Amino acid sequence: MINDSARACNSRYNAVNNSTPWVSIDRYARMKFVASFWLSLPERLMACLLLFFLVPSLLVSGALIHCTAGSPVIVTDELPNFSGAMAQRLRFRTTGHGTPLFRLVGRFLRRYSVDELPGFWSVAVGHISLREFLRQLY
């Protein structure tokens, strides 16, 4: 329900700019959100499926990091997402203090990009798109 002051402001805006009222702009924003949700749904489902199949390797990698270097096992990186806002991406910790074995494990994880696999969670949640995630890898 639009009150009288909003209606008066809206009619003045239309008279000056000769455009649609702000109520339809809200409807357009809602339609844009719904469209972006349906477009990102296949990417998010694919990320969930990949996470399901990668759980054993993620657990082994996390256990190796925890045994050789302690915690934290997963760290966050901030990167700009498709809308320009900063989003968080997860990854395994591969640098820092730890045993010499941790350095070997970290080099292996970095060389084969295994440390980036927790980033699929950020895709599944919808913080970043799959294209942005893959672009950061290569």
Does the pLDDT of residue 10 top 50, yes or no?
Answer: no
For residue 113, being part of any structural domain is answered with: yes
Query: Residues 6 or more apart from 9 whose CB is under 8 A from it?
Result: none
How many separate domains does the chain show? 1
Q: Give me 42's structure tokens.
A: 């296949």
> pLDDT tens across 91-132, in order?
999 998 889 999 999 999 999 999 999 999 988 988 888 888
Q: What is the Cα–Cα distance from 37 to 64, expressed in whole angstroms?
A: 37
Q: 4 pLDDT exceeds 70? A: no
End-to-end Cα, the chain, rounded Å: 50
Whether residue 3 is contained in a domain is answered as no
In a domain, 62, yes or no: yes
Q: Which of 83, 81, 73 is nearest to 115 (CA)?
A: 73
Q: Is the pLDDT of residue 2 over 90?
A: no
Is it the case that residue 43 has pLDDT exceeding 50?
yes
Residue 11 lies in a domain: no
Residue 107 domain boundaries: 41-137
Cα separation, 64 vs 52, in Å, equals 20
| Better pLDDT: 111 or 13 | 111
Would residue 124 count as lying in a domain? yes
Q: Binning pLDDT at 50, 70 and 90, where does residue 23 land?
A: very low
The pLDDT score that the predictor gives to residue 28 is 57
- Do 137 and 110 form a contact (C-beta atoms < 8 A)? no
Task: Tell me the one-letter amino acid at 46.
Answer: M
In a domain, 47, yes or no: yes
Assigned domain for 57 exists: yes
- On whether residue 82 sits in a domain, the answer given is yes
Q: Does 130 or 32 have the greater pLDDT score?
A: 130
Whole-number pLDDT of residue 25: 54
pLDDT per residue as tens digits for the range 53-102: 999 999 999 999 999 998 899 999 888 877 778 888 899 999 988 899 99
